[in-house]
Chain A
């Protein structure tokens, strides 16, 4: 692939990692700010905070919809390709039942998901656990398979940076943490280490000049990420046309994460590896 010319020979490890580290720092600050205001590093969506999400297929305008649901705690209306995605705040059981009837009456072609507050809380604590366990599990696998400290740390750090930057971007562009986006974040843990493992393997286990090995690894690695990007883009386009909220969110988060992964693999991870090899580690 001749599109991008990857040549980092003239850059020192410090120069390579400075940009990603700065972005990582900014992202961490952003997450801390969100944490201070909402109690969670990422804004929890309806799945975790409780509420009702409704997809309707309609040509009604926002005003018409707001008017029709004036009696209910409608908090947000967003546009989809050929419908609207509505969010409602918490309500009691009787109110919710009347809302279901109201929706069925005017918008029979709909999808409703309601999560109560306590159920949301339970999901939230499990979600946090799942994220932590996944990350620790990934780190253990990486350390066990590399058995050398610095390269393993480089991979784990890159994966960590991927997730933190993705989460911060989700906050900025307003994608909430839902069951779907949680799944996407977990998938990123698995994806992001793919190209890192390839890179580390090439650099540490092959003979040859460091720069040639890096260029070779980049050729393979960038195509790996591009294929996944292509699959995620395809999913995003189709789900946008089909107004499938959960798939839109999953694919958007995957796209963001994969773009950060390119940076973290080929700057962060490469930077640390270069420093490690120049210092005399590896072959």
Chain B
């Protein structure tokens, strides 16, 4: 091929798009040698391919659709008492679902609902999306304070907005540590200011029996805060300390300070109202206000997490877990790379056996490899974590990719003759129509996996779909152009 032909080839938009994408992908992957002289890149690896652990937690709670003859508020209060747990109305304009934060089977719940003039319409184990998000924030918080860097927490929410599972992935942490991190609670304490900077212990976190979600007090006032409930003994200790150190007599001088793992997370005086009430009575239901507007809401959200001291609003059990040791992960990585290269070579050999013409075989294999490079570039760009199923997906893309190049080549080379440009276009479009149908079926077949939360297979499905799309939109048309140029010589 002379330089003029080469120039017309690369200025063709199909070929140009391919070249530009390859260059961008290489930049995105940016392979380089790190300080130790190891080959490194921007690609991120999932837990399969580096040391790490994952835990899948299941919520011990359920979301129940209900109707009742009572008012919703009264119904919820009574239920909460009978079930001895928090019952929360799932937020929506028209309350139809309750979240019960303790595990009961539907059969257990039915008589209790009936005794409160209620009826169960639907029952599903799990929590509402907002509770799942709260759990996610608490877990993230906990993991961050422990200095674990590479952590991912994902709630798996179904189509009905009910989450049953939450998945925690911790890179560089072994299973034992991971179980400890998720199980560990912080040390929560309330202290009272005595004189100057001196403080005294009032109560510790175990006397807090429940923590409510952030709310406005009075309702609709834009004054945010978090309500929480103390046990009988906790409330007594709170009152005794408040009176003893003068917080009821002179609230302004005696702030109440909340500490989590010995650092202050909240500090404010008793309200005049509460100070007065505490003089005469123990109070179990307290409210810590955090201010107004957006910052008030934000602080209330954080305070809620702190009040829980890393404890989750809902009990969880470990539904699944796993981990890979560092050397094994490293080995898997090498093997996966080998599998990819080996697959490309064998595919190349099969193609060579068929066509025996380097002018056809080389472009085919190069196009095939370029597809993988573009996919890897995309994976690096979206910071997708590659795992073993993703690699299987990449090798599968290699297999389908070459299939379709064979279809194009054979359609065009029909009866071994090189066609005229007109006939060529007709044949190319016929080949492309076969490819588009084949591609559509692969995409459709993988779509359920990509949309469902079948744990690790989501990545595999997304990569396969992407691979097919890159092939149909970019690399196959470019190949059609290149092979024409080569054959017309």
Contact = CB atoms under 8 A, between A and B. Distances in A.
Contacts, number: 239
B39 interface: no
B395 interface: yes
A239 B331 CA distance: 11
B437 A231 contact: no
14 contacts: A96-B318, A114-B321, A137-B448, A141-B441, A183-B449, A190-B445, A223-B354, A226-B350, A231-B399, A232-B395, A235-B339, A235-B343, A242-B331, A244-B335
A246 B448 contact: no
A254 to B, nearest CB: 8
B327 interface: yes
Interface string A236-257: 0111011010110011001000
Interface of A: 1, 55, 57, 93, 96-97, 100-101, 104, 108-116, 118-120, 122-123, 126-127, 129-130, 133-135, 137-138, 140-142, 145, 179-180, 182-184, 186-187, 189-191, 193-194, 197-198, 201, 205, 216, 219-220, 223-224, 226-228, 230-235, 237-239, 241-242, 244, 246-247, 250-251, 254
Interface stretch (B141-149, B198-206, B209-217, B401-409): B401-409
B371 interface: no
B332 A194 contact: no
B8 to A, nearest CB: 29
A253 B319 CA distance: 28
Nearest to B334: A242
A249 B440 CA distance: 26
Nearest to B460: A183
B35 interface: no
B407 A198 contact: yes
Contacts of A96: 318, 321
B298 to A, nearest CB: 34
A251 B398 CA distance: 13
Contacts of B391: 247
Interface in B373-419: 388-389, 391-393, 395-396, 398-400, 402-404, 406-407, 410, 414
Tell me what chain B mostly uses at the interface: helix, strand, loop, or mixed. helix
A227 B350 contact: yes
B2 interface: no
Interface of B: 56, 58, 164-165, 174-176, 179, 317-325, 327-328, 331-332, 334-336, 338-339, 342-343, 345-347, 349-351, 353-354, 388-389, 391-393, 395-396, 398-400, 402-404, 406-407, 410, 414, 430, 433-434, 437-438, 440-442, 444-449, 452-457, 460-461, 464
A137 B441 CA distance: 7
A116 to B, nearest CB: 4
A197 B404 CA distance: 12
Nearest to B332: A244
Contact of B343 (A55, A141, A230): A230
Given A93-B317, A190-B442, A179 B456 contact: yes
A118 B59 CA distance: 11
Contacts of A110: 324-325, 328
A179 B320 CA distance: 14
Which 6 pairs, one residue from A and one from B, show the smallest C-beta to C-beta distance? Answer: A242-B335, A190-B442, A137-B444, A119-B319, A113-B322, A228-B399
B406 A191 contact: no
A210 B128 CA distance: 61
Contact of A186 (B165, B336, B350, B449): B449
A197 B437 contact: yes
Nearest to A199: B434
Given A100-B175, A223-B354, A129 B452 contact: yes
A123 B345 CA distance: 36
A211 B405 CA distance: 24
B446 A134 contact: yes
Given A118-B319, A138-B444, A244-B332, A197 B438 contact: yes
Contacts of A186: 445-446, 448-449, 461
A112 B175 contact: yes
